[in-house]
Chains A and B, each alone.
Chain A
Amino acid sequence: MMRLELVKRPQRSALFSALSPFLAFALTIIAGAIMFALLGVNPLTAFRIYFIEPVSQVWQLHELAIKAAPLILIAVGLSVCYKANIWNIGAEGQFILGGIVGSIIPVLFPQFESPLVLPLMLLLGMVGGAAYAAIPALLKTRFGTNEILTSLMLVYVAQLFLDWLVRGPWRDPQGHGFPQTIQFNDSAVLPELMPDAGRANWGFVFALVAAVLVWILMSRMLKGFEVRVLGSSPRAGRFAGFGLNRMVFFAFLLSGALAGLAGISEVSGAIGQLQPVISPGYGFTAIIVAFLGRLNPLGIVAAGLVLALTYLGGEAVQSALGISDKVARVFQGMLLFFVLGCDTLIHYRIRLIGLALTKPESAAKLEAAPKLKEAR
């Protein structure tokens, strides 16, 4: 019998830390090639359709921007959480609540048309996302609940709440019974950037601005320093006089507001109304984006574009080769798996430990042994 043990490396390699996302991408390509081959498709053809064709024309780049914008916006907020060692997994729910709260004006007051409508919607979207993110923050600081569980569970609450809204009170009375709200009026629609070239809207600009602002926050400001200290050494943070509870709220409210902004931008820009489903899992995919971008807002912009491509590629192989577009999920999962794997192996090395077969009772002690090691 063998067992595996992770042994911390005395020094982590700066070179490989920087290379890690690229290694992960390369490994994903290799694993993807095997997958396509097993599906009976020539991997080269599949990769051309998956990764190259979806971005070979200008209008397609606009589609890429539409998909990348929410990923970047959400991931930038999540990066602040994760740097602070706070695990907001519920961005999907905050995205949906941002979409719902931001839609209050165009759905309930459709006759209100003014240049003020759009800014108000965006603001309400951010408030909605932040308020929804405040729930796990409150539960964590007040009762010590695990924010991973509460924020994740609230995603399903948000999804069902949206589903109920568009089938019930907010359903378009002239919509022939379809579960959707009325189409937003023109002043409630996020304008396109270059209507002649493609559909990309201001959401992408919001994403870039958010990335730059959060980058400044994290690298140049005292607040960002506070996030990094509390995330890397909470006891030193307490010694510095930084409050952990305040940080939990700060991180959740910031990431919730950005997810909410992404939600209302998506509803107002790309969709134009509320539907039962307004996100193909952006809130979860953004977790991959955040890690692939090394939790660095500028890296996240690049990672967001890569992950957006996996969505477009998934649609492309479905139409061209008849492969399920779930293949996009497979690619996203592999990317996260490999990036986390690379990171782990940069910090730890694997040691194989053989166990003497003559001592079966020592197997029972296996559970205790690693704990003892940690205590040391």
Chain B
Amino acid sequence: MSANQDGTNLLEVRGLTKIFGTLTACDHIDLDIARGEIHALLGENGAGKSTLVKMLFGSLEPNSGEIFWNGQAVRISSPGAAKKLGIGMVFQHFSLFEALTAAENIALSLDDGSPISSIAAKARALSYSYGLPLDPESLVGDLSVGERQRIEIIRCLLQTPQLIILDEPTSVLTPQEADKLFETLERLRSEGKSILYISHRLEEVKRICDRATVLRHGKVVGHCNPREETASSLARMMVGNEVQAVVRAPVEGIDKAQPLLEIRNLTRKPATPFSIPLKGISLNVRAGEVIGIAGVAGNGQGEFFESVSGEVLQQDAASVRIRGKDAGGLTITGRRLLGAAFVPEERLGHGAAPRMKLSENLLLSRHATDGKAFVGAGGMVKSAAIYSAAQRIIVAMDVRKSAPDPEAAALSGGNLQKFIVGRELDRRPSVMVVNQPTWGVDAGAAAHIRQALIELSRSGSAVLVISQDLDELFEISDAIAVMHNGELSKPLPIAEATFEKVGLLMGGAEPGHAEHTLETA
């Protein structure tokens, strides 16, 4: 390991280029990573971060350019080759089998035939020495998202990598869990390991990273020391210009406004062994306000969204009420006809059918509510009408695309999300429920979507936003409630909410208990 400790960098990348069709995803990227540094890779969605990392980890082959490892030119043809060199990666989306134990999951990826018991012992030792306590015998399905990430990190560390690539590691963690992760990363750095840290959270990059490389439109636009930059100067480098701040005017007399969405003691048994039961959730969303629901992923948000949207029906019709009418027994179509609109978390395959055109995807959620406009006599689809409505949404939301009416899968995530949100806003719904409105959306588009949601509420609609992004919720919400393990806390008015209070609730402090500390504080 220490054979080559002269002045050369651990990893040097020169002129790395990757072309997909007409798109140059990475354009002559240069990057140096020294031993024992935490190096940030910054950039908006679609800036080329993932493509670059995939080339470093061997899952994509570059069109041109060179990679030097310890000063030697190397070709990384597969993830296996990357692992052999000493490059490990922790993905943003985990690849774990929920029905297996942590140790079994690790054994599957090691592929060297050593017995599970010895792997478990090694994993346990490693996890404690790095302050990431983990029981290798526990079933993945029973673990929290933060614990699952530990499995991924330990799996990576077991292969004794010298460079660890972390892709948006804190996006699934509570602020407190993130702090623990940072301690581990600093520990790894002190051992001389290098870390390539991908994130769009500028504050944490400033806090833990030694150097940063900023990508924009597939090109390196700068290297910097993030500690000497401000969050807004980093953002400017990423986006290329100032991101417009979201404006949220305070609302007056909201207590007297009509609740348009009422959830009363909503309870749901787990549908599968690995889904979360909902336990007595109650919440009112009034005309004119935005309520945010915070929480670590996998605490029942998906189950809650399905129940509110009507993709899953309730036994008790009064447990979901829309505009004063019992809707618990209505299908999603029935709830839409009452004036509600929904945006699910998954864009491709849930909010939109990937292989269908945007105009057809418009019909997807609006064939019933706009039946007269879009569907003619005898069930014939009015394709001219849906086409022009789709174009109207594309213009209103500034959706960028390569063809007049492309397939949903051909759009970037952010642009598809703008279309999906715009599709619902175009109806002027009186109740809007959105799950992760800006997940993976670039800063400019996110600001656009957030502003549109606030404006919808100010025009007299009730807006409910479920999000893992606390910054976002503090930006747009009038009150924030926290979902933990299928329970929902009382909403904290935004004036009283702090990151710390919300973070404690996300980590599982008793909702009642938190209320108490709130009152005494």
Contact = CB atoms under 8 A, between A and B. Distances in A.
Interface string A348-360: 0000000000010
Contact of B95 (A221, A362, A372): A372
B349 A236 contact: yes
Interface of B: 20-21, 95, 97, 108-109, 111, 113, 309-311, 331-333, 336, 342, 344, 346, 349-356, 360, 363-365, 367-368, 375, 378-381, 383
Interface in A236-255: 236-241, 243
B350 A239 contact: yes
A362 B95 CA distance: 20
Given A361-B113, A362-B111, A362-B113, A239 B380 contact: no
B279 to A, nearest CB: 24
Interface in A328-376: 359, 361-362, 364-365, 368-369, 372, 375-376
A230 to B, nearest CB: 9
Interface size for chain A: under 10, 10 to 19, 20 to 34, or 35 or more residues? 20 to 34
Contacts of A361: 113
B111 A365 contact: yes
B353 A229 contact: yes
Given A233-B349, A239-B364, 20 more contacts: A10-B20, A229-B356, A229-B364, A232-B354, A232-B356, A233-B350, A235-B346, A235-B349, A237-B353, A238-B311, A239-B332, A239-B365, A240-B364, A241-B331, A359-B113, A364-B113, A365-B113, A372-B108, A375-B97, A376-B95
B440 to A, nearest CB: 18
B359 to A, nearest CB: 11
A215 interface: no
A228 B367 CA distance: 14
A116 interface: no
Given A238-B311, A239-B342, A222 B379 contact: yes
Interface string A18-35: 000000000000000000
Nearest to A223: B379
Given A225-B381, A372-B95, A376-B95, A241 B356 contact: no
Given A239-B332, A241-B368, A232 B353 contact: yes
Contact of B350 (A10, A235, A375): A235
A134 B360 CA distance: 30
Contact of A372 (B109, B349, B363): B109
23 contacts: A220-B381, A221-B378, A221-B379, A221-B380, A222-B363, A222-B380, A223-B379, A228-B353, A229-B356, A229-B364, A232-B353, A232-B356, A233-B350, A235-B346, A236-B350, A236-B352, A237-B353, A239-B332, A239-B344, A240-B364, A241-B332, A362-B111, A375-B95
Nearest to A374: B95
Contact of B336 (A10, A241, A243, A369): A241
A229 B357 CA distance: 11
A240 B108 contact: no
A11 interface: yes
A369 B111 contact: yes
Interface string A181-222: 000000000000000000000000000000000000000111
Which of A232, A240, A361, A376 has the most B CB atoms < 10 Å from its CB? A240
